[in-house]
Amino acid sequence: MKIPRILVFPIYVAMVVAFGFLVGLIAHWCGAYSPTAWGVFTLIGIFLAVILFVWGRQIYWRITKKGDYEDYGKKG
């Protein structure tokens, strides 16, 4: 199944929100004091983890000169 490129980001966001909602439901079922906070903090944590991963990958590529920063035109 091929997903149109324009729909990839909204589908991923919907999946993350659904996961946060699921965590909130499980926390409510387990008797957590504030199950909504569990879901919200899960969402915030996932978004921060993705941002840190992309940022860290960019720094790694800058340091090693691999990935996006590799110069494919030069032959040495």
47 inside domain: yes
pLDDT for 9: 85
pTM above 0.85, yes or no: no
74 inside domain: no
Amino acid, single-letter form, for residue 16: V
76 inside domain: no
33 inside domain: yes
Please state, in angstroms and rounded to a whole number, the distance separating the CA atoms of residues 71 and 65.
Answer: 8
Please state, in angstroms and rounded to a whole number, the distance separating the CA atoms of residues 62 and 13.
Answer: 28
63 inside domain: yes
21 inside domain: yes
Please state, in angstroms and rounded to a whole number, the distance separating the CA atoms of residues 56 and 54.
Answer: 5
Kindly state the tokens that stand for 65: 């000169």
**What is the span of the domain harbouring residue 16?**
5-69
pLDDT for 68: 58
Per-residue pLDDT of the chain (76 residues; tens, 9 = 90+): 687 888 888 888 888 888 888 888 888 888 888 878 888 888 888 888 888 998 888 888 878 777 655 555 555 5
